[in-house]
Amino acid sequence: MTARSPGALANVEKFSVITAIAAPLMRVNIDTDIIIPSREMKRVSKKGLSNGLFAGWRYTDIDERVANPEFVLNHAAYLGTQIIIAGENFGCGSSREHAVWALVEYGIRAVIAPSFSAIFHSNCIQNGVLPVTLPADEVAALAKLAVGGSSGIFTIDLLAQHIIDPAGRTHTFEISPNHRQTLLDGLDPIDRTLTLKASIEDFEQNHYDGNTWAKLSENQP
């Protein structure tokens, strides 16, 4: 197997507890083309995408990058936002992983919504972003508390699986044990596979020991 220690190349930041500003984006069906328009996807790299995050909403002139004063992330009170609170079906549309890459580079560590596109949800887990699913009325209540920006701070505790809102109330959320551990460990899919390296190598050795012809055929030109 390729020599790679877990976390060596993935650059996935571990998630345990964050205390941060939350930005309300209470629109339904925010798709991946809104999160990162296709015209902003000029590279395969995960780097250099944050400038195009929500470009259609963030700028009044996309080419000149003229900031839209009405867009929430452009308000001074939301500088340093790490949490987005959104409406249903967040991340729908195309399966482009660039959408999550752009969020990560901008500094977003968690998104709270009533529901997510399945592929977007998976992309979040693999890139260190926590997708929190809560009932719609609970999300709406959190969004109202987030209107103050830096005057209201949220804490998301993945270990305890709860959110503490600016009013001090606790909101419990569910997450699969596998997804929870992936985020806590900061592992991408390759890293998770490499945690089983010893078992994989044992399987390979046992396979060759029981099938000598396979080993011989592998050495044939």
Domain that holds residue 83: 17-187
Q: Is residue 207 part of a domain?
A: no
Q: Are 88 and 134 in contact (CB under 8 A)?
A: no
Which residue is associated with the tokens 């997708």?
Answer: 131
Cα within 13 Å of Cα(33), Cβ side? 4
Q: Is residue 3 part of a domain?
A: no
% of the chain at pLDDT higher than 70? 90
Cα–Cα distance for residue pair 163/181, rounded to 1 Å = 18
Q: Is residue 85 part of a domain?
A: yes
Q: Is residue 70 part of a domain?
A: yes
Q: Are 186 and 13 in contact (CB under 8 A)?
A: yes
CA terminus-to-terminus distance, the chain: 21
Each residue of 146-168: pLDDT tens digit?
998 999 999 999 999 999 999 99
Q: Are 81 and 22 in contact (CB under 8 A)?
A: yes
Q: Is residue 181 part of a domain?
A: yes
Q: Are 112 and 134 in contact (CB under 8 A)?
A: yes
Cα–Cα distance for residue pair 156/19, rounded to 1 Å = 6
What CATH number should be reported for the domain holding residue 179?
3.20.19.10
Q: Is residue 199 part of a domain?
A: no
Q: Is residue 88 part of a domain?
A: yes
Q: Are 105 and 50 in contact (CB under 8 A)?
A: yes
The pTM of the full predicted model, rounded to 2 decimals, is 0.84
Each residue of 97-138: pLDDT tens digit?
999 999 999 999 999 999 999 999 999 999 999 999 999 999
C-alpha dist (Å) from residue 41 to 8, 65, 94, 122, 201:
26, 16, 13, 20, 39
Q: Is residue 133 part of a domain?
A: yes
Q: Are 15 and 183 in contact (CB under 8 A)?
A: yes
Q: Are 37 and 55 in contact (CB under 8 A)?
A: yes
Each residue of 188-218: pLDDT tens digit?
777 777 776 777 777 777 777 777 766 655 5
Cα–Cα distance for residue pair 31/41, rounded to 1 Å = 15
Q: Are 119 and 97 in contact (CB under 8 A)?
A: no
The more confidently predicted of residues 208 and 79 is 79
Q: How many domains does the chain have?
A: 1
